[in-house]
Structure 1
Amino acid sequence: MTSNVSDPVGLAKSADAVAARATDLVKIYGSGDTQVRALDGVSADFAKGEFTAIMGPSGSGKSTLMHCLAGLDAATAGTVHIGDTNLTELSDKGMTQLRRDRIGFVFQAFNLVPTLTALENVTLPLDIAGRKADEEWLSTVLKRLGLTDRLTHRPSELSGGQQQRVACARALAGKPDIIFGDEPTGNLDSRSSGEVLSILRAAVDEFGQTVVIVTHDPRAASYADRVVFLADGRIVDELRSPTADSVLDKMKSLETSGVEAEH
């Protein structure tokens, strides 16, 4: 199945409703016999105010797609837009500024600075940018994430779930256009994982944020409005209003067809 059948990834949406857009993205690593085509002509829209999960078998290109969308990696060909900004036309300085001012990140490794308090970690990107936090917004985020009594604690004094909540607060603090999560629950137990996913869901429902995560976990994907499936560097399907079971069934069929294709 190709990515343009029945517009499976929302390309028909108007530009002003799109938070991020990939168009004909190609990403090639290496050359000659060792060349790997991680992305093979991917086109997809990610709507504003929507929670999207990107899934696929190991090596399908899902993390590469997210890294290209977030400006952490440059595509070999094709274009990426955040809103109406074409990332491929930005200078290094412009790219740094865009990532700092318009994108929030939540990674599997919490990426907190050990010598800073929870609050200092949350406001760090704003401090670096020389921007003042919107106190009302920050207070709302910290309260919603249950961090108000942990603000003076350093990361070593927090549980894994609390550290990831700090990372979520940091991603939300600057009111970014879009939040990207790369396996954001990968290092967490099921209870902490559920907390963090609920927070990302609330960011969409209560704060009107746009969230895109890469995950291998059907339960995590079930929190999303939409799941986009990759295989061999191409978008092959999507699910709306996913459940853990429907995602698991789709993943099984993708992995089975992948095995069949190899024989």
Structure 2
Amino acid sequence: MQNQPAARARALTKVYGDGDSRVVALSSVDVEFYSGRFTAIMGPSGSGKSTLMHCVAGLDAPTSGEVFLGDAELADMTDNQLTALRRDRVGFVFQAFNLLPTLTAWENITLPLDLAGREPDRELADAIVDAVGLRDRLHHRPAQLSGGQQQRVACARALITNPDVVFADEPTGALDSRSSADLLDLLRTSVDRFGRTVVMVTHEPAAAAYADRVLFLADGRLVDELTAPTADRVLDRMKHLERVAV
């Protein structure tokens, strides 16, 4: 349901190291990611963007604070439960495509289901394959696909489990402009057509403009938010944050 948080964090703090090497990556962050919405996370280099996403996605444990996926608090989960949650309820799209080279596109897409011992929902699978435009490439291995096609396979893999949230960390970083636009269109479609919740870390204002809202981080804190973003408005906010950081 829209306007209900699919994932949220309270007083989220992440500290690396100690003594002179102590770095506060996140400092008491409160954030909600709403169901059926596309949220982009931006900020200057070192602002804590990826750390926030990794903690909310259960890939990294916070130093303190609370993280919830739906009603489930991640701190209450065992390692096995966290593994199952990341496999079954969360989808991931990274800058590195992370495809297995010996598997076909289809086998890479269905890998999370295979690991869980589940069969794909054929109706959903057909809709996703059509959405990513890879029906004639399903039997090709990654080396036989372009970078944009490989990233679309990775996106299909993230959607095939019907996850609560899809987390995308700089998903267009290794793509050319045309492939980037195709991938962002696909993430937008996954929200509008499939009702997915997407959280994307990006440094590109044009990419953030595909989102419903943009959150801005600086020095490990949420400092600003923008709804109905355009590339120009996002760029203006980023320039302001970078001036303040100097």
Q: TM-score, normalised on structure 2?
A: 0.99
Amino acid at match of 2:167: F
3-state SS in 1 of match to 2:54:
helix
Matches within 5 A, 1:40-79: 40-79=27-66
Conserved? CA contact 1:204–1:210, under 8 Å: yes
Does the Cα contact within 8 Å between 1:52 and 1:228 map onto a contact in 2? Answer: yes
Distance 2:85 2:206 in 1: 31
- Matched-pair contact (CA < 8 Å) for 1:38–1:64: yes
Q: Could you tell me how far apart the structure 2 residues matched to 1:136 and 1:257 are?
A: 50
Report the Cα distance in structure 1 between the residues aligned to 2:17 and 2:25, rounded to whole angstroms.
Answer: 10
Instruction: Please identify runs of 4+ aligned residues in structure 1 that moved more than 6 A.
Output: none
In structure 1, the residue matched to 2:234 is 247
3-state secondary structure, aligned to 2:27:
strand
Match of 2:161 in 1: 174
Which of 193, 217, 228 is the aligned partner of 1:206?
193
Check 1:252–1:226 CA distance in 2 against 1; reply closer, same or farther (3 A cut): same
* Distance in 1, Cα, partners of 2:209 & 2:139: 34
Deviation at 1:213, TM superposition (A): 0.5
State the Cα distance separating 1:15 from its structure 2 match.
Answer: 10
Mapping for residues 192-203 of structure 1, pairs under 5 Å:
192-203=179-190
How many residue pairs match? The answer is 246
Pairing partner for 2:174 from 187, 195, 198:
187
Corresponding residue of 2:91: 104
| Partner in structure 1 of residue 104 of structure 2 | 117
Quote the RMSD (CA, aligned, Å).
1.1
Q: Distance in 2 between matches of 1:105 and 1:144?
A: 17
1:27 aligns with 2:7: no
How far 1:17 sits from its partner (Å)? Answer: 1.2
Looking at structure 2, the residues matched to 254 and 143 of structure 1 have their Cα atoms a distance apart, in angstroms, of 40
Partner of 1:223: 210
Unaligned runs of 5+ in 1: 1-13
Structure 2 CA distance for aligned equivalents of residues 185 and 71 of structure 1: 22
SS at match of 2:135: coil
Would the aligned equivalents of 1:16 and 1:83 in 2 still touch at CA under 8 Å?
no
Partners of 1:16 and 1:135 in 2: how far apart?
29
- The runs of 5 or more residues in structure 2 that have no matched partner are none
Q: Matched residues in 1 for 2:2 and 2:195: separation? A: 17
Deviation for aligned residue 1:128: 0.5
Task: Please say if residues 226 and 239 of structure 1, whose CA atoms lie closer than 8 Å, have aligned partners that are also in contact.
Answer: yes
2:204, 2:100 → 1: CA distance?
A: 27
1:153 to 135, 140, 146: 140
Q: Tell me, in whole angstroms, the C-alpha distance in 1 between the residues paired with 2:4 and 2:125.
A: 25
Checking the alignment, whether the CA contact within 8 Å between 2:7 and 2:68 is kept in structure 1 is: yes
Question: What is the TM-score when the length of structure 1 is the normalising length?
Answer: 0.92
Any conservation in 2 of the 1:23–1:78 contact (CA below 8 Å)? yes
Offset at residue 258 of structure 1 (A): 0.7
Letter paired with 1:113: L
